[in-house]
Structure 1
């Protein structure tokens, strides 16, 4: 396992990060702990979660994922390793109708809400500090989660970025968080967060967690430059395109998968050319004696702007294959064939 520096921070994170959004919905606490134990044994030191997990989010299960991780962290042999682990979690933004999470769903990133959210996460995680605290999605109106067009008529109340950063600065000063990141952000957002921090002497964001995979390479269009110039590392989520790039949907829709269990989360993968593109990528994998999963994960890991690739699994078999993909290196011939498919089917699932 290789380790990379996250942005301008001192954090050295494993090139594969363990995602946990199924814990508490599709995975039991015993299964979650088995995954965590195995991942750490393979050299993964980076664990990502969120206050609203598991998905799909609802009032009955909200926070359960952090609780499962917290019970794991509280075990004596794991607690002794806490300083070697990098724990990342997230606070929700505005506009997703999750008023059941906190009373004030408007201006989600107000000082009051941030302070409550971090204390709640620390309690569930049974830890004194969060290594990377991330804004799950912007507090302002932006296209995200499959939307591609900015709509001015959707403007809403938001907390100024300077005010958000000022509150996070308090949390860094008190030791509750070490570093700040964003998620589902735009090029404008990266620039504005970075410039505001510089101008006001406030904490700089060190990471961005956005979707990036073979059928969604939109991150390359503007965000790569912004992240390069501002030294912000990408934590690539959904590297398997919600499971599509594993090849399991090429011949139909198997039962007991996230797409079949929670169809509302798969809308971007019902778009034109998704199936055609995934079939061609699967064919490339077969040609070079790789599994579609190995090809997809190795591609994401190979990008110069990716600091860590966030994997998620519901079974140990999936987890082992995902982690083993770190041993796969794609040669120039394979990468050229991937780019040929990308040119024919340009970002079918943005």
Structure 2
């Protein structure tokens, strides 16, 4: 498995990252542990979670359950040193955690301690802010995102305060690196500038949605990533399963994401199935598994650090692992580009 530097740190992560957000709702403890062990056999060393997981659905009763499941694996003898563990601090609007309070310098120590307890570890390799306090254009909010939010002076001051609290965690050894999620180019650049002013931890990575169907990252964010060494950790690279083809022809498999979330978080639109058909056609004509093609394509992007995939059964996991061995020809890449131009922004 290819290894890639996490920003300007000395941490190297696998090009594929094991996502965990279904562990504790759609997956049992034993199923989750089996996924960890199989991914480790396949030379994956990167695991992503969050204090708010699991999802499908999100509920107050399940907050922290996924981290707890990972901690149980370590408790049962799993080697902590085998994994780069990333987790996230919930914030504004995530009402099931701290009543949706924003991320602040006052919430960081308590939140880090909670994750450490559940994960049964002394340190977190990558600590990420799950959502900007001022809001985000992600999750289909790009259609009406209002950039005229809080005073930018106050935003910068809050960032500096948070970086001070994060540096205190670095100093006591509880976190190794800092990352963002669901952020914008402007926001990321403000964090980078604040780090230069304060000496606090520099943003190492960005976790935003990215797939053949969701390519918002390809413009300003891509340029920022390349020139500032803030690599993308792509979530939903299979567009919550749409790119597998399993939902074509109005199919809704039992236990699938669509059976639990009918509009797929706004991804199910009148145009999306025609776009999926275009990519399925490319895969079929070139003898490729569509899931592996979608994951392999993500790994070719110049700003990509690691591609986060999830699985609800071992067969799905095996397909995803196989993407590491897929090389896409120039012809396939050209056809993908043509399909994207024919089906831009399908949701």
How would you bin the TM-score normalised by the shorter chain? over 0.9
Match of 2:98 in 1: 102
Q: What TM-score results when the alignment is normalised by the length of structure 2?
A: 0.95
Q: Is contact 2:226-2:302 (8 Å) kept?
A: no
Q: Distance in 2 between matches of 1:272 and 1:227?
A: 32
Q: Which of 151, 154, 176 is the matching residue for 2:146?
A: 151
- 1:155: Cα distance to partner? 4.9
Q: Is contact 1:16-1:310 (8 Å) kept?
A: yes
Match of 1:57 in 2: 58
Quick check: 1:70 aligned with 2:71? Answer: yes
Q: Is contact 1:185-1:210 (8 Å) kept?
A: yes
- 1:272: Cα distance to partner? 3.7
Match of 1:85 in 2: 83
Write out per-residue CA displacement over residues 250-308 of structure 1, whole angstroms, 9 at most, x where no aligned residue. 122222211221236x1321234211000110011000111111111111111111111
Quick check: 1:236 aligned with 2:216? Answer: no
Q: Which runs of 5+ in 2 are unaligned?
A: none
Match of 1:214 in 2: 212
Q: Per the alignment, in what secondary structure is the counterpart of residue 128 of structure 2?
A: strand
Change (3 A) 1:270 1:23: same
Write out per-residue CA displacement over residues 54-107 of structure 1, whole angstroms, 9 at most, x where no aligned residue. 00221111111000000001223x23xx22310000001212323xx225x33x
Match of 2:131 in 1: 137
Match of 2:14 in 1: 14
Q: Is contact 2:131-2:183 (8 Å) kept?
A: yes
Q: What TM-score results when the alignment is normalised by the length of structure 1?
A: 0.94
Write out per-residue CA displacement over residues 197-252 of structure 1, whole angstroms, 9 at most, x where no aligned residue. 01221110100001110011110111011112211011111000010001111122
- 1:154: Cα distance to partner? 6.1
Match of 1:260 in 2: 259
Match of 1:114 in 2: 108
Match of 1:35 in 2: 35
- 1:195: Cα distance to partner? 0.9
Match of 2:302 in 1: 304
CA RMSD of aligned residues (A): 1.6
Q: Per the alignment, in what secondary structure is the counterpart of residue 125 of structure 2?
A: strand
Q: Distance in 1 between matches of 2:261 and 2:320?
A: 22
Q: Is contact 2:104-2:158 (8 Å) kept?
A: no
Q: Is contact 1:190-1:227 (8 Å) kept?
A: no
Structure 2 counterparts to residues 308-347 of structure 1, below 5 A: 308-347=306-345
Q: Which runs of 5+ in 1 are unaligned?
A: none
Q: Per the alignment, in what secondary structure is the counterpart of residue 73 of structure 2?
A: helix
- 1:152: Cα distance to partner? 5.2
